[in-house]
Amino acid sequence: MKKVSIVIPMYYEEEVANECYEKVSEVLKGIGDKYDYEIIFVNDGSKDKTLEILEEISKKDEKAKIISFSRNFGHQAAVTAGLREVTGDAIVIIDADLQDPPKLIPKMLELWEQGNEVIYGKRKTRKGESAFKLLTAKMFYKTLNALSDVEIPKDTGDFRLVDRKVVDVINSLPEHNKFLRGLFSWVGFKQKAYEYERQERFAGKTKYPLKKMLKLASDGIISFSNKPIKLVGALGIISIVISIIILIYALISYIFQLNNLSAGWTSIMVAVTFFAGVQLLSLWVISEYIGRIYDEAKGRPQYIVDKKINFDK
Ligand code: UDP
Ligand code: MG
């Protein structure tokens, strides 16, 4: 019998944990005659009752497995940890808050049986998300696709069903800061979009404040594109051209005794501030890359597991 593994990251999800488990296992029991299954919950360092609730669940149901981090390492790390432990033939990544309806899993499995290897959820509508979130998400995918060398489908999150083969490839990649939705597109294989209506969060608030969104966005852009570095180069050239123009202008004004420049104060100020700006900007972009190279060079793990439950069963 084929096996389906579900990976569910959780960060402060005590309000949804039970409901999430119920809904997901209900769906999986419904197709239990065809597929064996396991549910891997990754507790991403929540300090509320999330872990307690999950432990309760895991006592009753040995198909519910838990990986618990020593602290919060972030959504991508949590999913990555889950992917490392899955034993199924098909793997589903789904958020805990039921924004991505578990009842779609059987449909996705059908598409998988037809030979598709990455079936990614594409959001037709997004209920209950603020205009700010929608706008920033749109900007993010626009920028990312303009900058990066692989096409990353817009309006997709991490909700997807992937074949074992693909997960093995992802697991074999040595990089630490994995931007999963980019990588799943980058690896190739037979991809298929699956349109669905994104629901409102079942309970609780988003665990993605602006700071985490920005981190995700910059990880995505930096790890999938070298263009920002080139952009800095272009900016440098433009600013040199501008400074030459200023110089020529000043020279003309000097030669023809126009006396319109009060002892060069304006041009100096413009040049100084302009170059300072360009240099700081360049430094920032370069340091983003160096920072990530440094992270990778240190070779620290992307996450630290505190405990694992039900994995030996
Ligand atoms: N999450 C996580 N670690 C984090 C932030 C979020 O594991 O540091 C989980 C969270 O519990 C949820 C999923 O990632 O299952 C998506 O988060 P959320 O629903 O808050 O994001 P949104 O849907 O608002 O983008
Ligand atoms: Mg959500």
Instruction: Return the percentage of the chain with pLDDT > 70, whole number.
Output: 95
Please work out whether the CB of residue 58 comes within 6 Å of at least one atom of ligand 1: no
Q: How far is the CA of 267 from the centre of ligand 2 (A)?
A: 51
Mutation to probe ligand 1, out of 95, 130, 140, 216 (largest number of atoms < 8 A from CB): 95
Candidate from 16-30, 59-73, 91-105, 294-308 with smallest mean pLDDT: 294-308
- 147 and 119 together in one domain: yes
- 211 and 73 together in one domain: yes
Residue with tokens 């999938």: 224
- 212 and 285 together in one domain: no
Helix (H, G, I), strand (E, B) or coil at 265: helix
- 251 and 217 together in one domain: no
Give dist(CA 246, CA 243) in Å, integer: 5
Task: Report DSSP state, residue 201.
Answer: P
pTM of the predicted model, to two decimals? 0.74
- 182 and 275 together in one domain: no
- 141 and 243 together in one domain: no
- 127 and 249 together in one domain: no
Residue 263: pLDDT above 80? no
Mutation to probe ligand 1, out of 207, 211, 214 (largest number of atoms < 8 A from CB): 207
CATH number at residue 181: 3.90.550.10
Number of structural domains, the chain?
2
- 13 and 25 together in one domain: yes
Q: Whose CA is nearest to atom 1 of ligand 1?
A: 75
Q: How far is the CA of 150 from the centre of ligand 2 (A)?
A: 25
- 65 and 137 together in one domain: yes
Strand pairing partners for 39? 6, 64
Residue 7: pLDDT above 80? yes
Nearby residues of 24 by Cβ (< 8 Å), 6 or more positions away = 6, 8, 39, 94, 102, 105
Q: Measured between alpha carbons, how far is residue 80 from residues 96, 188, 277, 284 in Å? A: 15, 18, 38, 28
Q: What is the mean pLDDT of residues 286-298?
A: 81
Residue 42: pLDDT above 80? yes
Q: Tell me, what's the pLDDT at 298?
A: 79
- 176 and 35 together in one domain: yes
Taking only Cα atoms into account, the Rg of the chain, rounded to an integer number of angstroms, comes to 25
| CB contact at 8 A, 303 and 78 | yes
Q: Which two tokens stand for residue 217?
A: 């966005």
Please work out whether the CB of residue 95 comes within 6 Å of at least one atom of ligand 1: yes
Q: Which is the closest atom of ligand 1 to the Cα of 201?
A: 19
- 77 and 205 together in one domain: yes
Please work out whether the CB of residue 9 comes within 6 Å of at least one atom of ligand 1: yes
Q: What is the domain range of residue 176?
A: 2-225+301-309
Please work out whether the CB of residue 78 comes within 6 Å of at least one atom of ligand 1: yes
Q: Which is the closest atom of ligand 1 to the Cα of 42?
A: 7
- 174 and 281 together in one domain: no
Please work out whether the CB of residue 15 comes within 6 Å of at least one atom of ligand 1: no
Q: Which two tokens stand for residue 144?
A: 């990312």
Strand pairing partners for 38? 5
